[in-house]
Amino acid sequence: MPTSGPMFSRTSPAKSNLATDLAIPLLAQGGWPALTLRNMAREGNVTPQAIAAWFPSVRDMRVAIARTYGERWLRERGHQARRRMRFPHIYQPPPPPAVGVPDGLLPRAVFALLPATWLEEVFDGVWLSVVEASRWDEVISSSVGAVEDGERRLVSELLGGQPGLGRAPLEHDVDLVLATVRGLRAALVAQRGEVTSASAGRTSAM
């Protein structure tokens, strides 16, 4: 499992960043239920009491990790998508243009947002663990909603702020891209067996 890379922020002293760095491998391997004080302490080679001292409660720790990871995930996903839209020849060729889309703008945007490497699949799997956890926690749900709003703005940006079909409004095209990307993303992660609704719903304090 990854312990370094673009989704980590080892140089920040903020407790939310330190906790998120420790949480990423745990979430990648065990999903949301793995996010316990004992597991976090083992990952950081410290005592559970040391991790507990960072946050008022385990729930506060999980909320901070969900928010921080979501911000990182959106930032990195946006960075990669913009590069793929700008330099498509460097990456794997996009799928054929969809019917009615002369320049294949929508398929290109979908391709740009999907994971292109094993590591990106892992990070997407972690994000989907957070999304599943948001079904049971209103505060985490709010953080996920903010990230999804940012993802919507990103798709609009990738489409150039213009309708891709020539006759449909931009919002329709954004909805189409997001529905396709999220469906394919979930399917790719499911193939890896990383996220299930049942496992994301089971949490324990220790």
Token look-up 């990182």 returns 72
Residue 200 has pLDDT above 80, yes or no: no
pTM for the model: 0.81
The reported pLDDT for the residue numbered 195 is: 43
Please give the share of the chain, as a percent, with pLDDT higher than 70: 75
- Condensed to tens digits (0 to 9), the pLDDT of residues 4-47 reads 566 576 555 578 999 999 999 999 999 999 999 999 999 989 99
User: Tell me: the pLDDT tens digits for 107-151?
Assistant: 889 989 999 888 899 999 999 999 999 999 999 999 999 999 999
Angstrom CA distances, 58 to 29, 140, 204, stand at 19, 13, 9
CATH number of 15-201: 1.10.357.10
- The full DSSP string for 97-116 is PPTT-TT-HHHHHHHHHS--
Q: Alpha helices, DSSP H only, in 134-201?
A: 138-158, 170-192, 197-201
Rounded mean pLDDT of the chain?
A: 82
Answer yes or no: is pLDDT of 201 > 50: no
In the chain, where the domains are located = 15-201
H-state helical runs in 34-117 = 37-44, 48-52, 58-86, 105-113
How many other C-beta atoms are found inside a 10 Å radius of the C-beta of residue 52? Answer: 16
